[in-house]
Amino acid sequence: MHYKLALLGFGNVGRHLARLLMRKQDELRQRYEITFSVVGIATGRHGAAIDPDGLDLEQALQAYESGHGLEPLSRLPVDDSLDFIHKCGADVLFENSPVNHATGEPAVTHAHTALELGMHVVTANKGTVVHAYRQLTNLAAARGLSFRFESTVMDGAPIFSLFRHNILAAQLKSIRGVLNSTSNLILGVMEQGGSFEEGVRRAQEMGVAETDPSADIDGWDAAIKVAALTTVLMGIPTKPQDVQREGIRAITPEMIAQARADGQRYKLVCSARRVGAAVETRVRPERVGIESPMYGVDGTTSIIQFETDVLGLLSVVETDPGPETTAYGLLADFVNIVT
Ligand SMILES: NC(=O)c1ccc[n+]([C@@H]2O[C@H](COP(=O)([O-])OP(=O)(O)OC[C@H]3O[C@@H](n4cnc5c(N)ncnc54)[C@H](OP(=O)(O)O)[C@@H]3O)[C@@H](O)[C@H]2O)c1
């Protein structure tokens, strides 16, 4: 079966997805009989291109990365991202625009519009999940389509699909994890005797932290992930603002040294615990001992631990994730939808 794909957002994640699609093209055809063409790519400041016969991805990557922009590749004029969605004629829209913690926009409108027009939507954008999960899932179901978002938490590691396909008829009681790479890197640098600022610089040099790393340091990135997990896996709609949140700014080298002396490490711990019909959600620095699976999580590695009524504590650890693993989560969602 042939699918027309559109990429809305061609930043780190969108471009890694393009490269992964090229790399996996033969495998998708041989193993799943899936063929595809990318009929559109749109960005914020680098223009957009639509070609109903399929764009040349190498050429599109080169045009973007050389700073020339995508317009010369387009066979149709494109006014803005909504015009792009209306004109692209895709079967699947990959929405990878920047996250908006406060409202989820414009990604929510992008996803909503694409579903209205009959496209499946696959996204790494957490804003769509915490601000419109139910709305987008219901709309997709009503149209016989899918809205998928595996890459929003723990990059490409299968978290949501684990519960969708494998852990069935289970009650999820609690979640604990280390889900923010920047904070974990900074705490690691401080354990080695470096300062908080050196930790921030290291994370920026590695391309993990933004120029303005406050969303990571103040716990917002972790809070939006907790909100997404709680909303989807526990069925309790939760906004990032609902999560009790404390970042790592107040952690001093003395506190780190004291924890080390006591055989413990500071981690920015994400948690959600069901309490009756409600849920307690929290992001805060905690001291963890060697008995915790979080103790050994270094650098950009992340971990999530599930407590259910049916299994023992179940942990998923992803070592050194990055935009390429995020791209894989998007690809896996696509394959899951169409097979
Ligand atoms: N990086 C990761 O490993 C990772 C992991 C998990 C989830 N995510 C999520 O994935 C999404 C993309 O992340 P990223 O790292 O690729 O971000 P990014 O590098 O900043 O790329 C964002 C892309 O969206 C485009 N864009 C900006 N505003 C837009 C608008 N209004 N309409 C259409 N396109 C717009 C940008 O255009 P320009 O190219 O012109 O700037 C760029 O192509 C985010 O929601 C992020 O939270 C990322």
Q: Is 124 in the pocket of ligand 1 (CB under 6 A)?
A: yes
Q: Which amino acid is at 86?
A: H
Give the pLDDT confidence score for residue 318 in this predicted structure: 96
Q: Is 181 in the pocket of ligand 1 (CB under 6 A)?
A: no
Which residues lie below 8 Å from residue 142, measured CB to CB, with a gap of 6+? Answer: none
Q: Which amino acid is at 41?
A: I
Give the pLDDT confidence score for residue 277 in this predicted structure: 93
Which residues lie below 8 Å from residue 165, measured CB to CB, with a gap of 6+? Answer: none
The candidate with the shortest Cα–Cα distance to 164, out of 140, 142, 147, 139, is 147
Give the pLDDT confidence score for residue 290 in this predicted structure: 97
Pull the structure tokens for residue 145.
């389509």
Q: What is the pLDDT along the chain (339 residues), one digit of tens a residue?
A: 999 999 999 999 999 999 999 999 999 999 999 999 999 999 999 999 999 999 999 999 999 999 999 999 999 999 999 999 999 999 999 999 999 989 999 999 999 999 999 999 999 999 999 999 999 999 999 999 999 999 999 999 999 999 999 999 999 999 999 999 999 999 999 999 999 999 999 999 988 887 789 999 999 999 999 999 999 999 999 999 999 999 999 999 999 999 999 999 999 999 999 999 999 999 999 999 999 999 999 999 999 999 999 999 999 999 989 899 999 999 999 999 999
Give the pLDDT confidence score for residue 208 in this predicted structure: 83
Q: Is 326 in the pocket of ligand 1 (CB under 6 A)?
A: yes
95, 97, 185: residue to mutate for ligand 1 pocket, most atoms within 8 A of CB: 97
Calculate how far, in angstroms, residue 12's C-alpha sits from the geometric centre of ligand 1. 7
Q: Is 13 in the pocket of ligand 1 (CB under 6 A)?
A: yes
Q: Which amino acid is at 108?
A: V
Of the candidates 87, 126, 225, 267, the residue annotated as catalytic is 225
Calculate how far, in angstroms, residue 98's C-alpha sits from the geometric centre of ligand 1. 4
Pull the structure tokens for residue 177.
């994890």
Calculate how far, in angstroms, residue 124's C-alpha sits from the geometric centre of ligand 1. 9
Q: How far apart are CA 184 and CA 272, in angstroms?
A: 19
Phi-psi region of 283 (alpha: psi -120 to 50; beta: other; left: phi over 0): beta
Question: Which atom of ligand 1 sits closest to the CA of residue 97?
Answer: 24
pLDDT, one tens digit per residue, over 76-92 is 999 999 999 999 999 99
Instruction: Give the residue whose CA is nearest to atom 2 of ligand 1.
Output: 323
Give the pLDDT confidence score for residue 119 in this predicted structure: 98
Instruction: Give the distance between the most distant pair of CA atoms in the chain.
Output: 65
Which residues lie below 8 Å from residue 226, measured CB to CB, with a gap of 6+? Answer: 175, 179, 238, 240, 243, 270, 271, 272, 281, 282, 283
Give the pLDDT confidence score for residue 130 in this predicted structure: 97
Rg from Cα positions in the chain:
21
Q: Is 44 in the pocket of ligand 1 (CB under 6 A)?
A: yes
Give the pLDDT confidence score for residue 111 in this predicted structure: 98
Q: Is 329 in the pocket of ligand 1 (CB under 6 A)?
A: no
C-alpha separations of 141 from 95, 121, 234, 260 in Å: 18, 12, 19, 51
Calculate how far, in angstroms, residue 313's C-alpha sits from the geometric centre of ligand 1. 34
Give the pLDDT confidence score for residue 329 in this predicted structure: 98
Give the pLDDT confidence score for residue 212 in this predicted structure: 83
State what percent of residues in the chain have pLDDT above 90: 95
Instruction: Give the residue whose CA is nearest to atom 27 of ligand 1.
Output: 44
Q: Which amino acid is at 132?
A: A
Which residues lie below 8 Å from residue 144, measured CB to CB, with a gap of 6+? Answer: none
First to last CA, the chain: 10
Give the pLDDT confidence score for residue 206 in this predicted structure: 85
Instruction: Give the residue whose CA is nearest to atom 28 of ligand 1.
Output: 44
pLDDT, one tens digit per residue, over 125-140 is 999 999 999 999 999 9
Question: Which atom of ligand 1 sits closest to the CA of residue 84?
Answer: 33
Q: How far apart are CA 107 and CA 13, in angstroms?
A: 15
Known active-site residue 225: yes
Q: Is 99 in the pocket of ligand 1 (CB under 6 A)?
A: yes
Q: Is 12 in the pocket of ligand 1 (CB under 6 A)?
A: yes
